Amino acid sequence: MIKVGPAGSGGLGNLKGIRKVARMKLDCMEVEFTYGVRMSMDDAREVGSLAKEKGITLSVHAPYYINLASDEKEKIVASKQRILDSCERAAVFGARCVVFHAGFYQKKTAGQTYRLIKKAIVEIQGKIKKNKWKVQLCPEITGKPSQFGSVEELLKLKKETGCGICVDFAHLYARE
């Protein structure tokens, strides 16, 4: 089933955003953690309750500060934690998909970058399973050629890890 809704709340905050989406007769909304996961568990429960009441399906966009293929190990660790924090909130408010930009090539080959990102995704999936969160990692097609996230890369990642993918048509257009 195809659902239609906005990426984010348009600056209204998640609760007002959900109400507006419902008034507009749309059926989904992306909760954006653009600059960090700044939502308490209580707020996550409130968001989930309202979304359920209004029949709005939620998804999550993890912070932009993610690079699972960084040259710096501490950045990979922090990136994984940002994704896990996003997954935890998503699980609390009932979102299924956690979307993120997986990383950058930097000075690595596409193959080296792919292996690092695949390894990180498998590790994160293990923690999701351990915590019994009903969420799926969905790396997104990216618009910059310097970023990991071509259609081919993501389809291969999906096949090998079982993750989902997010097709952003604006990114796809920009990439080509």
- Residue 149, domain member (yes or no): yes
For 53, the domain range is 14-175
- Residue 23, domain member (yes or no): yes
- Residue 2, domain member (yes or no): no
DSSP conformation letters of 89-146: HHHHHT--EEEE---B-TTS-HHHHHHHHHHHHHHHHHHHHHHT---EEEEB--SSTT
Q: How far apart are CA 54 and CA 69, in angstroms?
A: 39
Is the full-model pTM beyond 0.85? yes
Q: How many domains does the chain have?
A: 1
Q: pLDDT tens digits, residue range 42-88?
A: 999 999 999 999 999 999 999 999 999 999 999 999 999 999 999 99
What pLDDT was estimated at residue 12? 87
- Residue 5, domain member (yes or no): no
Q: pLDDT tens digits, residue range 127-145?
A: 999 999 999 999 999 998 8
- Residue 133, domain member (yes or no): yes
- Residue 8, domain member (yes or no): no
What pLDDT was estimated at residue 8? 84
Q: State the CATH number of the domain containing residue 61.
A: 3.20.20.150
- Residue 90, domain member (yes or no): yes
Rounded to an integer, the average pLDDT of 136-159 is 95
- Residue 3, domain member (yes or no): no
